C-alpha cells in the first residue's frame, strides 16, 4: 500500500490543479498555486526527490486532473509468460506502457506488444484493473490505473525486441527474472496464469 502521506500529497496536488483549471478569481488562483507548491514540496520530501523533478513529472495544469492509464499484455504460451527487458532499469515486465489518446485500451495493448516484442496478438479479455497506489508497487508521484489483458498470439514468428527494450523471452512462473516493479509485480503475473487456467473467472477490479 502507498504511504498515506504521499497519498494525501498527491490528492492535494490534484485538487489544486483542478481548482486552477476552473477558478476565475485571482485570489483563489494564488491560494491554489500555493497549495500546489506545498504539495510538490511534500512529495519531494517524502520521495527524497528534487522538487523540480516532481513538478516536471506532474507537468503543468491540464484541466480536471485524473489518473494516468497503464496497459499490460499477458501472453502465455506452453506454460510460460512473455516478458521484455526494459532499458531504463535492466529489469523485466509484461509488454505495455502508457495508453495513448485516440486509441482504445485493447488496441493500445496490441500496439505495445508489437512494438516491444515483435509479436502479433489479439486481446482476449481483461483480467485486472488495479489502482497502483493500493498495491506493492514502488511509490509514484503520479496516480495510475493499471489495466491487465490476457492476449492470444496470432503467429509463430520469432520474438523481435523493439528499440525500447533490450530483450524479450518467455519465463516459467517459478523462474521469473528480476521484475521492473514500477511496471509489474509478482501478483500481476500470478493472476495472469490463474485467469489463463480458469477463463470464466470475473476480472479483478479495485
Mean pLDDT over the full length of the chain: 89
Question: Which stretch of 38-42, 46-50, 118-122, 182-186 has the lowest confidence by average pLDDT?
Answer: 46-50
- At residue 71, the pLDDT reads 98
DSSP E strands in the chain: the ranges are: 68-77, 80-86, 92-93, 96-98, 121-131, 144-153, 165-171, 204-205
Please, which residues have CB within 8 angstroms of residue 37's CB and are 6 or more apart in sequence? none
Q: Tell me the mean pLDDT in the region 193-198.
A: 96
**pLDDT surpassing 90 at residue 153:** yes
Going by C-alpha positions, the residue among 152, 150, 130 that lies closest to residue 140 is: 130
Q: What is the DSSP string of 111-158?
A: HHHHHHH---EEEEEEEEEEEGGGTTSPP-SS-EEEEEEEEEE---PP
Q: What cell does 25 get?
A: 478569481
Task: Considering only the C-alpha atoms of the chain, give the largest distance between any 2 of them, rounded to a whole number of Å.
Answer: 63
DSSP secondary structure code for residue 22 in this structure:
H
Q: Tell me the mean pLDDT in the region 136-150.
A: 91
> What is the percent of the chain with per-residue pLDDT over 70, rounded to a whole number?
91
CA distances from 132 to 49, 63, 67, 169, 194 (A): 20, 22, 10, 25, 20
Is 99 in a helix, a strand, or coil? coil
DSSP secondary structure code for residue 175 in this structure:
S
Q: Tell me the mean pLDDT in the region 144-154.
A: 96
pTM for this prediction: 0.76
Amino acid at each position: 500500500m502507498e504511504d498515506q502521506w504521499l497519498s494525501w500529497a498527491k490528492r492535494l496536488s490534484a485538487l489544486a490543479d483542478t481548482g486552477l483549471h476552473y477558478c476565475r478569481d485571482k485570489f483563489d488562483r494564488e491560494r491554489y498555486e500555493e497549495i500546489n507548491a506545498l504539495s510538490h514540496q511534500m512529495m519531494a520530501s517524502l520521495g527524497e526527490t528534487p522538487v523540480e523533478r516532481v513538478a516536471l513529472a506532474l507537468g503543468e495544469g491540464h484541466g480536471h486532473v485524473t489518473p494516468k492509464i497503464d496497459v499490460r499484455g499477458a501472453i502465455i504460451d506452453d506454460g510460460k509468460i512473455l516478458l521484455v527487458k526494459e532499458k531504463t532499469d535492466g529489469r523485466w515486465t509484461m509488454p505495455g506502457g502508457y495508453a495513448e489518446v485516440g486509441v482504445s485500451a485493447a488496441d493500445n495493448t496490441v500496439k505495445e506488444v508489437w512494438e516491444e516484442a515483435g509479436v502479433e496478438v489479439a486481446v482476449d479479455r481483461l483480467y485486472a484493473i488495479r489502482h497502483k497506489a493500493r498495491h506493492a508497487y514502488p511509490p509514484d508521484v503520479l496516480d495510475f490505473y493499471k489495466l491487465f489483458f490476457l492476449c492470444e498470439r496470432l503467429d509463430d514468428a520469432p520474438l523481435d525486441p523493439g528499440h525500447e527494450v533490450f530483450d524479450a523471452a518467455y519465463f516459467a512462473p517459478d523462474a521469473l527474472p528480476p521484475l521492473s516493479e514500477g511496471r509489474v509485480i509478482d501478483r500481476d503475473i500470478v493472476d495472469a496464469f490463474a485467469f489463463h487456467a480458469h477463463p470464466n473467472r470475473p476480472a479483478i477490479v479495485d
